Structure 1
Amino acid sequence: MNDMRAALHDSYGPPEVLYEGRVPVPVRKPGEVLVRVHAASVNGGELYGRAGKVRVVTGRRFPQRTGLDFAGEVAEVDASVTGLRTGDRVWGILGRSSFGSAAEYVSVRPRQIAYAPENVTLTEAASLPAGGTTSLTALRDKAGLRAGERLLVRGASGGVGSVAVQLGKALGAHVTGLASVKNSDFVRELGADEVLDHRTTPLAELDRYDVIMDTVGTEHRLLRTRLAPGGRLVSIAFDIDHPVRSIGYLLGSAVHGRQRVRFFSGNPKHDLFAELTAYVERGDLRPVVDTVHPLADIAAAHRALEAGGVRGKQVIRLV
């Protein structure tokens, strides 16, 4: 086992620059775990990385890789690692700003993974690590969403929004989703108490909410006017045409509230993945997969996410 299949691109550009190629299997370093990837998902930051909009992070050396989160099974374990065995089902995310999970193998430290939920397939599970940990950190840990509060999720049918709706309900909030008409029934099925059409509902005419979770990345100044006293705006997307904000989108997110903007890390660890597993196994959170693509169709997965209107995640299946 010297080389493996992986999604690559030799230049920055549109989805068509992506292709399935071969690269060396990662060498497991001391203290690491080699994971055979069953599936990975496509996240917004990867689109910007492929397009060259965050070159200050991704650099100019090619070929480059894509993919952040993954689900698979342990292939090798360093002797110093305890609690993991060959064959264990795991999921996780590569290190901050590191791309490369759309490949047959990844080598990671134990803190980057946890046992995957037993009640879903690994292909389904791959849709949740990035969006799930982002939503849980944003809503519970940073915005401090409490039972009985009013939550607005902007982009409620997407990869992160579909998770945020479910977690908002699990945390006891009254959830309003902002989405397209064609996705309104879908968002209600996720648990939203009401759904508003984003095309016909002016942001300036929205009610006031205790927490607003924005997955779109625009109109933050206007959205902040729709906060109730003490309200918090959680932003997980930024205007990619502004370089500083672009880096923020790739590396973290922000909470707006009480005249403050606080950035938080997009680099989750084992305990958070383990909590996410518990939410899934309790039935409080279910994977939402729009389309499953073979690795050879990685460009199609990127095109679909860029086109918008998806329900949940575009997933790349390796096994």
Structure 2
Amino acid sequence: MKRVQYDRFGGPEQMYFGNYVPPPLERTQVRVKVKAVAINPLDWKLRQGAMKLIIGRTFPKGVGSDYAGTIEAAGEDVTNVNFGDDVFGTMDFKNAGAFAGSIVVDCRYLTRKPAQLSFSEAACLPIPATTAWAAIIDKAQARSGSRIFINGCSGAVGAFAVQLALARGATVSGSCGKAAMPKARAAGVDPVFNYADSSSYRSAGKFDAIFDTAGTMSVSEGLSMLNRGGVFIDINPTPGRVVRGMLSGRYKMAFATMGTEHLPEIAQFAHEGVLRPTIGLEKPFSEALTAIANAESGFRGPGRIVLAL
């Protein structure tokens, strides 16, 4: 079968469709016939070499993290899904490679797909929804009466963060690009600010949690907008920020891996309509190389970019 992969770290020109044979199953693994995948910034950051010290230099490496499909085979210790189940999930970033006809993945990285979601919609959930869960539910502990500000509230992670916070009874303010402001208001963000004008939201009062999904706020800026006991949550840490986080209980980081264990709950929320994935563009898998390169260069549009197999 064909898989999107690369033989060295670098730009989009390193990607190609290579021949791939999934490895034999281990006891806790499943093999998934992939029906749809969604593109994440993580996909090209890994290929660029941003985490090469962690993922190593063994090539070829596969591209892609988030997928939806059907279980083709299951290891003997797998209990959460069965042969023939429709599922969605993500992959361990150390062994990425979801952009393939079939993949082998540990069963803890997936869950059953809600029946009313298409494969393409379900593929939009994993990394953005688990990241939002880690931030809003685990770190911010959103609840009735909470006042939460989401920087980048119209993006993939930001939109799910808005939905989770509102479901918990919090009041949500946020910032996004000017063109996305009407959509953010319709989603329940009030007030919503143009993030090109940071002075407008810096004067919007104090918040119980700030969630910066856009990576445009400094730590000092985020902390200055907090109530006593509030937290500034970041998904774009630098080494300096990591050190700052270790020294300050008010600065916290949120990663998708922190929320992976909640995939079944995310599936239930999607079933209930609390989480609503949005597809911005859907392309056939044969156009994967171009679609990834375009997304990497900044063409993303509203909603997720999905590749259908």
What's the TM-score, normalizing by structure 1? 0.86
Greater helix proportion:
2
Question: Any gaps of 5 or more consecutive residues in structure 1?
Answer: 249-253
Q: Secondary structure at the match of 1:188?
A: helix
Q: Percent identity?
A: 29
2:215 maps to what in 1?
217
1:105 aligns with 2:66: no
1:294 aligns with 2:287: no
User: What's the Cα RMSD here?
Assistant: 2.5
- Cα separation, 1, equivalents of 2:72 and 2:165: 35
1:207 maps to what in 2?
205
Contact 1:7 1:295 in 2 (8 A): no
**Structure 1 residues 1-319: aligned runs within 5 Å:** 4-202=1-199, 204-218=202-216, 219-239=218-238, 259-263=249-253, 266-267=256-257, 271-302=261-292, 303-307=294-298, 310-318=301-309
- Cα separation, 1, equivalents of 2:246 and 2:161: 17
Task: Give the drift of 1:75.
Answer: 0.6
Task: Give the drift of 1:113.
Answer: 1.5
In structure 2, do the counterparts of structure 1 residues 288 and 102 end up closer, same or farther at CA, with 3 Å as the change threshold?
Answer: same
Task: Give the drift of 1:90.
Answer: 0.9
Q: Secondary structure at the match of 2:94?
A: coil
- Cα separation, 2, equivalents of 1:81 and 1:10: 32
Contact 1:233 1:256 in 2 (8 A): no
What's the TM-score, normalizing by structure 2? 0.89
Task: Give the drift of 1:234.
Answer: 1.1
Give deviations 1:143-177, integer Å, cap 9, x for gaps: 21121211111111211111111111111111112
Task: Give the drift of 1:130.
Answer: 0.9
- Cα separation, 1, equivalents of 2:7 and 2:67: 23
Task: Give the drift of 1:58.
Answer: 2.9
In structure 2, do the counterparts of structure 1 residues 172 and 269 end up closer, same or farther at CA, with 3 Å as the change threshold?
Answer: closer
Whichever residue aligns with residue 198 of structure 2, its letter is T
- Cα separation, 2, equivalents of 1:64 and 1:309: 24
Contact 1:151 1:210 in 2 (8 A): yes
- Cα separation, 2, equivalents of 1:186 and 1:197: 13
Q: Secondary structure at the match of 1:307?
A: coil
Contact 2:36 2:120 in 1 (8 A): yes
- Cα separation, 1, equivalents of 2:32 and 2:163: 29
- Cα separation, 2, equivalents of 1:113 and 1:269: 12
In structure 2, do the counterparts of structure 1 residues 260 and 230 end up closer, same or farther at CA, with 3 Å as the change threshold?
Answer: closer
Q: Secondary structure at the match of 2:47?
A: helix
Whichever residue aligns with residue 311 of structure 1, its letter is P
Aligned residues: 305
Contact 1:117 1:278 in 2 (8 A): yes
Whichever residue aligns with residue 212 of structure 1, its letter is I
Task: Give the drift of 1:286.
Answer: 0.6
- Which is further off, 118-127 or 54-63? 54-63
Contact 1:111 1:269 in 2 (8 A): no
Whichever residue aligns with residue 85 of structure 1, its letter is N
- Cα separation, 1, equivalents of 2:184 and 2:43: 25
Question: Any gaps of 5 or more consecutive residues in structure 2?
Answer: none
- Cα separation, 1, equivalents of 2:100 and 2:295: 20
Give deviations 1:250-274, integer Å, cap 9, x for gaps: xxxx979964444566425775111
Q: Secondary structure at the match of 1:160?
A: helix
Task: Give the drift of 1:39.
Answer: 1.4
In structure 2, do the counterparts of structure 1 residues 291 and 151 end up closer, same or farther at CA, with 3 Å as the change threshold?
Answer: same
In structure 2, do the counterparts of structure 1 residues 127 and 174 end up closer, same or farther at CA, with 3 Å as the change threshold?
Answer: same
Q: Secondary structure at the match of 1:230?
A: strand
